[in-house]
Structure 1
Amino acid sequence: MRSINVILVSLNDSSTKRLVHFKNHGRTYKKPASTSKDEFMHAYVRLLTLKNNKTILRIIFNFCGLCLAFISLDSCKKNVLPVNDVPDVQRTDGSIMIRNWLLTGPFLDSTKFNQDGYKDFSKSSIFSSTNSINYYQAKDYIPLNSVLNTNKQAGSYAACTIKSEVEQDVALLFGMHGSLKLWLNSKLVREETNPTQISKNRYIVRVHLKKGNNDLLVKLFSQTDAQISWTFHLDVASIDYVRKYAFGADFFSISEHYLIGKDNSLSLRFKYPAFIPSTRPVQLQIKDVTGHTVINKTLPAGKHWSLALNDLKNGAYKCRLIADLDTIQQCFIFGDHRKVFNEYQSQIKPMLSGDINRINVETLFQRFRYMDDFGTRNQYGEWLERKISATLFELGTILNKLSLKKEPYSRIGGLHIRGFRSSIDQSVDNYMVYIPQRGQLNKKLPLVMMMPYVTKQEPFLESWHVADITRIELISRLADKYGFGVLWPSARIYRDYNLNPIASSATFEALSAIKKNYHIDDNRIFLYGDCSGGLQALLIANRFPSFFAGIGVEGPELGYTQSDRYPGIWIQANNIIQTAENYKNIPMLIYHTPNDRKADFSIIKQLVNTLKKAGGKVHLDTLNNATKEHMFKLVSEEVVISQIFGFFKDKQRHCPDTINFSTYQLKYNKSSWITVNDKEYGKKAKVYAFMSGKNSIKLTTANVNKLTIDLRDVLKIDKKDPISVICNQKKLGLRYPVNGRLVLELTPPKKSKLLKTQLVEGPINDVFKNGFIVVAGTLGTPDQNETIHIAANTIYSNWKEDFFNDCETKKDVDINKLDLQNKNLILIGSEKTNGIIKRFANQIPLKVTGKYIEINGKKHLGESISYSFVYPNPVNSKKYVLIIGANYNRHLWSHVKDLPLRGWYDYEVWGSDSMVEAGYFNRYWGQSKI
């Protein structure tokens, strides 16, 4: 057995070190005077029977009780810690990763390890063993499970020397899974005992580095067995760097409690006082919901303050702390928060008039009730109290505005959660908006749209998008800095990716809703999204390139382009790489690490390369190959969002001289001054157009039958002079049209009553993007009507489950002229069982018999066939009918489930349990040959 040199520093005796010395191949041991003979002999006898150093060290650890072991490799002859050089951080732009470590462990007696403290740390405390290693951190974290070869609850130590170029104050930024203690030069500087999941720069601490060597020791403890990786990272940065990006959880918090009982005081502090310069006394201001200052005082020197609130009335208030460089404000409630809510609610309700007023107020009522119930079921932590207080403060300001007979929503700064009545299902959809507090309310306001990522199946008011207050406050600060409004639409995106047209319809509805209250600058609307939110940002910009002045995304998930979940033809038509040229006139900043395990980096690389070839303005930042796993990510969202907002700062939409546009779908048919009105079915329509001189436009097209040039949006056009248009090398001399729109019909369609258009072209899920009614037939037998009722209820309940709203359902006998003219109709049944289908019988290509069904002239044999297909509404060809039925009677038709999310085809034919055929109609709504 190898010689082992051990120094164990006991923490049971505060006055003396208790030393144990083992040497001479395990046969000679020296007992320290302060250790009992029985204790020593017990350890000695056990050691004689052991065969490996890991077990010896475990027994040594148990023998000494609560102790600390420092270990180095046998190869560490000079008895020094690994060194990390740190320059003057004021001259760096970013953080410096500490990569060279001495790792010790694992200590599997995790209970005692977690209770352990620390007394002394010096180089003389280091000894050699096989379970310590010098480790170079090649990644941006240490994977302790694999390095220490354990998946159990365990403890370990990490030690190193930080060699500082100059004497300086720096920030240590770190994250870990589990808990941690951290010492610098023998001084405990941070302890985190609550188990957390690792994230970039979650924790920050300000420390002083002397010039030269500084010894750093980190004690790490994994508090769960291993489904979650045991990981750790630590960086060094300047104080200004931390302040710039507001690292650390809850950087803008100023109290631990925001619901203040009647007999309690308001306790105030900066969460990170070491990062808030305060050379002069801090100023305190408290305002009520009317905007009146009720307290304005200078606080005494110190880091914590307690303020009696005896003179305040029960209600919501806003507290502001003003330091040298920072003003941080939060809302708080004085008195019982439920009584405050009930008082505000009872006074507001009688003063409400108009649908939108009721929607906005009821949104806040719902939000409060949910949070209060959550707190009752769980606990009222700092995060929850801040959000409850902000909600009640907004209700109080609305009450004040209504009392003064003023408009309570228009041009009001701050963070608001609101709603509108959606034309999709006539139910309420919600959004969140932040408006800069100063100087922007009467100006055109640039807007950043935060596209939602997929999360839990929760309503927007209960979702992470409105719950993550730290992220919201970071974004709100950036909005104030750059003068941007920020919109968080629900986009009807929850658990499912929702790649259908519903998402874009809901997004534009939310945009329209805030335009009613704020003067939005249409030339400065931007898109941001991360993960699946990045996908949604790229999708909506690709489909509607004329709307946006810039795009910033992080780690967009574009895996749908290679997925077998969607039809191949649909993927081709919706693959943004296939139509990457549509981004040509939109500046784009993409952050994507190659080490992203959630979103395939190779796909975004392909998009970037394709866009660059098309002349697009795109920059790809690979984030220094940061790690992004399914369970954790070491991408600094604070840095990414901040830099994207900075990227948007000087961007503005303009009318381009050159357009390079393509589309597979007429519903996405416009780019600036070019609109594709008709195209060859199933093919990619392409238009390359540019100004070739004064009043001269040159175009090259492919698979375009008809297009419109909107001359009103084109530069260098003089209405008085003739216009020269050269299209596919054919010169046309034209006059300026009266309405400013020049229509070129390149290939006239054959004579047909029906033609796929921008408004009506399928597939099935397109029916749900705007107003629709589910229409149940009533003409059948009781059994048939019951089956139809179950099918209608299935659509209704699926919609409720997927989108948290009711959808409109009616019986066929209740459908009126306005419904027929203005709604998409989902007709359930057949000519024999549904009165509306019977009315349309000669205008819908459907025949149903007991032996087969026939759709658009194509027979499908079978006695258990169900079907669904989309077709133009015979009353209004700008609307749809979706026909759903079967040639048999069963209480559940499988094919009606989740059609809004799944309906990728124009028609589907099902057997009893599975789809037997699906496809698309052609340009004239006939059977397609592809």
Structure 2
Amino acid sequence: MKNLFLCLLSLFPALNLVKAEDIPPIPRRIPPQGIEIPDEDRNRIQSRLSEATESAERIRNHPDVAVFRKAVRFALLNGEFYDKKHFALADKLLDEADRRTAFLTEGETPWTSAKQLVVRGFRSKIDDSVQPYGLEVPEKLQLNRPVPLYVWLHGRGDKNTDLHFIGQRMSRSGKFVIEDGIVLHPFGRQCMGYKSAGETDVMEAIEAVQKEYRIDKQRIALMGFSMGGAGAWHLGARYADKWAVVHAGAGFAETARYNRLAKENYPPWYEQRLWNLYDVPGYARNLFNFPVIAYSGEIDKQKQAADVMTEAFADHDRELNHVIGPKMGHKYDENSKKKVLAFIRKAFEYGRETNPQEVHLQTQTLRHNRIRWIYATGLIEHWKDSRVDAAYESEAGAIEATTKNISSLLLMHPDPSCCGARGGFFLEIDGTSIQVPPNLFSVPLLRKPDGTW
């Protein structure tokens, strides 16, 4: 073994190793480099940040305080001031941090019950960083009862870093006037298309709001426009358990067609396969579990996203609700906004079903493997179209299910308060009949080599 190690070691000089200094630096694109910071402004801001370290650790690390100072610190460190007026914005954020610090010192948190525009924060499980989110809380909204939550995903903003996102959320309302619920504006780690850490940020922000406010879990709407529309397609299809209704405005829904890639210019097959981690058409059946409405401006290039999803729905004999703004470019017209909001409020009349009689799961990875009472626990081949479609007949106490590319799954009883506890239920899956005994609320299923279960 020692001789083998020495032999391999002797080969290293012959290898064409790339040194770190030979790798050119990655050009900075997002966010772009800001303007030069005058010494007077830099010194003032830095002094205020330094003074803040004198407060108690539990107070200065409170997410509702720390998000403001982190935003300013990052802007100073990374050069994220793009106009002279942004130095005053930094002071505004530091003023709010100081104000909240003073309240916390006295054991008070008045912003937690504030109405209108509110900025808050949470600590992310990804990297223990504090992340901001904005809220719109209508003045007349009663917070002593569960209320609907409208999750609004913002569009692309190359300069919309923590500092500027918080500045907007302190001063600017969203595109839709909402009076019957709370509007949540996740940061999404700025400009990541709500993928990777941006995806997690949205879900963590929702969780944070649910801990702080009485949210009706059966009435959560996911909405967005432009990059936010892309996020609504992506998260809507992959977290279908969460939503009562989804609205996607403009945006993009897949990789190849949106980027106008000719097939001869496609990347290697394995990269194409991994497009399916984020492309939406291959997850379209998940969107059949709740109402969905798309919006496009008639002359907007990003109408392409809804057109792609219209085709994806049609492939499954479904029709996508698609509102088109006459002669509109990359924005809403007022009449279309009214139609979208009416659609969402109609969905809220029913809310997300507690015990749905019919569920649809479509995935290509076990990362997204659940829809209500169905868990896919094994795939015959990963990164291939995989499906479970199941319907429950409560009066007969029977479930009928069909699958594709599924090797194992966990089936929970659709209505544990009813038939499962009394007399079991009858399951027919891909032509295999199984009598599930009483008091069994979860059923692990394995596919045999012959295809039966």
- TM-score of the superposition, structure 1-length normalised? 0.38
1:647 equivalent to 2:381? Answer: no
- Inter-CA distance 684–670: structure 2 relative to 1 (3 Å threshold): same
Amino acid at match of 1:454: R
The percentage of aligned residue pairs carrying the same residue is 18
- Inter-CA distance 524–388: structure 2 relative to 1 (3 Å threshold): farther
Q: Which residue of 2 aligns with 1:520?
A: 215
Contact 2:375 2:410 (C-alpha < 8 Å) held by counterparts: yes
How many Å apart are 1:376 and its aligned residue? 9.6
Q: Which residue of 2 aligns with 1:488?
A: 185
Counterparts of 2:297 and 2:371, CA distance in 1: 31
Alignment of 1:636-785 (within 5 A): 636=332, 643-650=339-346, 651=348, 652-654=351-353, 655-682=355-382, 683-694=384-395, 695-711=397-413, 717-738=419-440, 740-747=441-448
Counterparts of 1:545 and 1:519, CA distance in 2: 21
Secondary structure of the 1:487 match is strand
Contact 1:582 1:660 (C-alpha < 8 Å) held by counterparts: yes
Counting helix residues as a fraction of each chain, which structure ranks higher?
2
- Inter-CA distance 377–593: structure 2 relative to 1 (3 Å threshold): closer
Amino acid at match of 1:653: R
Counterparts of 1:637 and 1:401, CA distance in 2: 42
**Structure 2: gaps of 5 or more residues:** 1-42
Counterparts of 2:245 and 2:93, CA distance in 1: 32
Counterparts of 2:337 and 2:171, CA distance in 1: 10
Alignment of 1:168-317 (within 5 A): none
Q: Deviations over 1:251-307 (max 9, x none)?
A: xxxxxxxxxxxxxxxxxxxxxxxxxxxxxxxxxxxxxxxxxxxxxxxxxxxxxxxxx
Alignment of 1:129-168 (within 5 A): none
Amino acid at match of 2:332: S
Q: Which residue of 1 aligns with 2:5?
A: none
- TM-score of the superposition, structure 2-length normalised? 0.73
Contact 1:581 1:616 (C-alpha < 8 Å) held by counterparts: no
Q: Deviations over 1:686-721 (max 9, x none)?
A: 111101343211111121111112216568534111
Count residues in correspondence: 391
- Inter-CA distance 728–356: structure 2 relative to 1 (3 Å threshold): farther
Contact 1:584 1:614 (C-alpha < 8 Å) held by counterparts: no
Secondary structure of the 2:381 match is coil
Counterparts of 1:380 and 1:442, CA distance in 2: 40
* Cα RMSD after superposing both structures: 3.9
Counterparts of 1:549 and 1:532, CA distance in 2: 21
- Inter-CA distance 732–579: structure 2 relative to 1 (3 Å threshold): same
1:551 equivalent to 2:246? Answer: yes
Secondary structure of the 1:488 match is strand
- Inter-CA distance 363–575: structure 2 relative to 1 (3 Å threshold): closer
**Structure 1: gaps of 5 or more residues:** 1-337, 628-632, 750-930
Contact 2:369 2:377 (C-alpha < 8 Å) held by counterparts: yes
How many Å apart are 1:552 and its aligned residue? 1.3
How many Å apart are 1:452 and its aligned residue? 3.6
How many Å apart are 1:523 and its aligned residue? 1.3
Contact 2:134 2:185 (C-alpha < 8 Å) held by counterparts: yes
1:447 equivalent to 2:117? Answer: no
How many Å apart are 1:666 and its aligned residue? 0.7
How many Å apart are 1:490 and its aligned residue? 2.4
Contact 2:154 2:228 (C-alpha < 8 Å) held by counterparts: yes
Secondary structure of the 2:403 match is strand
Q: Which residue of 1 aligns with 2:6?
A: none
Counterparts of 1:492 and 1:375, CA distance in 2: 15
Contact 2:233 2:253 (C-alpha < 8 Å) held by counterparts: no
Q: Which residue of 2 aligns with 1:221?
A: none
Secondary structure of the 2:255 match is helix
Contact 2:224 2:248 (C-alpha < 8 Å) held by counterparts: yes
Alignment of 1:493-892 (within 5 A): 493-494=190-191, 496-497=192-193, 499=195, 501-562=196-257, 563=261, 564=266, 567-572=271-276, 574-597=278-301, 599=302, 601=304, 603-611=305-313, 614=316, 618-627=320-329, 633=330, 635-636=331-332, 643-650=339-346, 651=348, 652-654=351-353, 655-682=355-382, 683-694=384-395, 695-711=397-413, 717-738=419-440, 740-747=441-448
Q: Which residue of 2 aligns with 1:302?
A: none
Contact 2:387 2:403 (C-alpha < 8 Å) held by counterparts: yes
Counting strand residues as a fraction of each chain, which structure ranks higher?
1
Q: Which residue of 2 aligns with 1:353?
A: 58
- Inter-CA distance 461–747: structure 2 relative to 1 (3 Å threshold): farther
How many Å apart are 1:420 and its aligned residue? 2.6
Secondary structure of the 2:387 match is strand
How many Å apart are 1:516 and its aligned residue? 2.6
Counterparts of 1:645 and 1:471, CA distance in 2: 23
Counterparts of 2:298 and 2:104, CA distance in 1: 53
Counterparts of 1:342 and 1:640, CA distance in 2: 49
Counterparts of 1:377 and 1:614, CA distance in 2: 48
Q: Which of these residues, 428, 433, 436, is aligned with residue 135 of structure 2?
A: 433
Larger Rg: 1 or 2? 1
Taking CA–CA contacts closer than 8 Å with sequence separation of 6 or more, which of the two structures ends up with the larger relative contact order? 2
Amino acid at match of 2:248: V
How many Å apart are 1:458 and its aligned residue? 5.4
